[in-house]
Structure 1
Amino acid sequence: MVNAKRYFIELAYDGTHYHGWQVQPNAVTVQELVNKALSTLLRCPIETIGCGRTDTGVHATQFYLHVTPQPPEGGANAFENSSFRGLGGLNALLPYDIAIKNIIEVADDAHARFDATLRSYEYHIHFNKDPFKHGYSWLLRDVPDLDLMNRAAAIIMEYTDFSCFSKSNTQTMTNNCKISRAEWIMKDDGSIVFHISADRFLRNMVRAIVGTLIMVGKGDIPPEAVRGIIESKNRSKAGTSVPACGLYLTEVRYPYPLTP
């Protein structure tokens, strides 16, 4: 009997036409299409484990999943002899808005979700009508005050319990997260990007944080008001969730190197 090997697959996707990453009944998701493509390529039913979940309309420039395909009796799976063959074959089975970037053999106990030590997101906002940013950035009329928003973002980094930014009724053991970066940057074209990194994120957390920081930037609340919002642990106290189109998962890190 040939031992099954575990692989990490690095991919990127445009989330516009999908109801998020995770398989759902009666909705098309990225994971569903990846599972189908892998099952076709490897000629056996395949279930993948992703590094997390993204909501409807959210994009990912870097996402990892793991899979342990069982080789056919007496033979090797499509990944074993040539990762290029597996990469090209898998991409050929997927639509244009899902791209496989790497297939990496890993240790048998490596886990795409539980082993991840850091995840980074970006949220993009622009202020002038641009057909090439539609669906990939949030269009606002007025430019908010970045200095005020960065003061509030620094306050957020002082806390770990982010219940106030979490979608209600989620099945998480804890609402604690360790944020290592929270910063607004203005780009040369006048658009702005929010960068945030943490060991983990709660459902809807980044979009709720951005919505709250925009309230600060517009002058609706002072930066220090963020303390009361976080300490309340009440989602209704925080800002509304901003549109999904501007959100990107951009990096996932692990405690071991991932090289093809």
Structure 2
Amino acid sequence: MRVALRVAYDGSRYHGFQYQPDVPTIEGALRKALSELGLELVGYASRTDAGAHARYQVVVVEGDPELAQPDPINARLPKDIRVIAKTEVHEEFDPRRDALRKEYRYFLGPLNRPEAAARAARKLEGKHDFSAFRREDGRNPIITVERCELVEITPNAYVLRVVAPRFLWEMVRRIAGFVWEVGHGLREEGDAEALLSGKFEPSKKPRCLPAEGLILWHIEYDEVRFERTKAWFEDHKVIQLGGRLLLRLPEGAESC
């Protein structure tokens, strides 16, 4: 049996999840800590961008299950990366392909036209061509967005929730960019139809908001349940991170 670990992190100091030589990454820090225990990282659910955060990343490790415990791993990790739960999984488990759906949240801050922004978000739900909401990577752009919802978490401070079985490169950040533009009167909510048609002017693509406002919030699997442990990531840490993100308004965002 392999062990799946649920990992949370503040990605502010890191150049993304995926390992890169000579720069700090989440995967690099995890591999170093795991290797000291004779464990090997063999898979992960999502390759988050530089500066992005996670409340619910999933990695799979091989080695002695007795050593694949949150406490000894956390003792070897930086404080802004925490293993918060574990569970045993079968040898064929793939944390990326076996995910039923993922939820991302983007912290948008205040909006001048929140009602229009909320309607714009809802227009993106359903099965559409999201070519206008990605950086080209050759993957099929037809995706079913199960939920795209604007939530007011404090007076005039908003978070965008996006749920789908899979996502394209920069997709959530560009969806957030579209909703933010509508919320500030820079674009009309009706523009969604043209953007989702697959026939759009490249210059009209939504801006790509900074990764610093993005959190990988949840991943749903079939019959995978994580054991709650002493190392469970305290909710107040997520709340504190969210509060910081709301102060980083994406007004200076440039298109990627």
Q: Same fold (TM over 0.5)?
A: yes
**Partner amino acid, structure 2, of 1:236:** S
- C-alpha spacing 1:153/1:126, structure 2 compared with 1 (3 Å): closer
- Equivalent position SS for 1:38: helix
**Other-structure match for 2:88:** 105
Which residue of 87, 106, 114 corresponds with 1:146?
114
Following the alignment from structure 1 to structure 2, what is the Cα–Cα distance between the partners of residues 12 and 258? 16
TM-score (norm. length: structure 1): 0.81
Q: For residues 202-250 of structure 1, give each alpha carbon's deviation from its aligned partner in whole angstroms, at most 9, with x where no partner exists.
A: 1111111111112212222221111112222555322211122211010
Deviation at 1:148, TM superposition (A): 0.9
Deviations 1:53-82 (A, max 9, x none): 11010000111011222xxxxxxx2x23x7
Q: Does 1:40 align with 2:23?
A: no
2:7 and 2:82 in contact (8 A); partners too? yes
Distance 2:200 2:101 in 1: 24
Cα separation, 2, equivalents of 1:107 and 1:233:
44
Aligned to 1:252: 219
Specify the code of the residue in structure 2 equivalent to 1:55: D
Does the 8 Å CA contact 2:133/2:205 hold for their aligned counterparts?
yes
Partner of 1:87: 70
The reply to whether residue 208 of structure 1 matches residue 204 of structure 2 is no
* Preserved contact between residue 41 and residue 59 of structure 2 (Cα < 8 Å): no
User: Given residue 90 of structure 1, which amino acid in structure 2 is its aligned partner?
Assistant: I
> What is the RMSD computed on CA atoms of the aligned residues?
1.8
Once residues 66 and 108 of structure 1 are traced to their aligned partners in structure 2, the CA distance between those partners, rounded to angstroms, is: 10
Partner of 2:154: 188
Please tell me the residue identity of whatever aligns with 1:120: E
Tell me if 1:230 matches 2:226.
Answer: no
Q: What SS does the aligned partner of 2:78 have?
A: coil
- The alpha carbon displacement at 1:10 in A equals 0.4
Map of 1:63-142 to 2, 5 A cutoff? 63-69=57-63, 77=64, 79-80=65-66, 86-127=69-110
For 1:51 and 1:250, the matched residues in 2 are separated by: 12
Gaps of 5+ in 2: 228-256
Distance in 1, Cα, partners of 2:21 & 2:133: 26
| 3-state DSSP of counterpart to 1:255 | coil
Q: Going by fraction, where is strand more abundant, 1 or 2?
A: 2
Q: What's the CA shift string for 1:7-28, capped at 9, x where partnerless? A: 1110100000111111123322
Q: Contact 1:35–1:48 at 8 Å: present in 2 too?
A: no
Q: Residue 89 of structure 1: SS of its match in structure 2?
A: helix
What is the rounded CA distance, in whole Å, between the counterparts of 1:115 and 1:202 in structure 2? 17
- Give aligned pairs, total: 226
Q: Is the 8 A contact 2:131 2:141 kept in 1?
A: yes
For structure 1, which segment, 186-195 or 205-214, has the greater mean C-alpha deviation from structure 2 after superposition?
186-195
Distance 1:29 1:6 in 2: 23
Stretches of structure 1 that go unaligned for 5 or more consecutive residues are: 70-76, 128-142
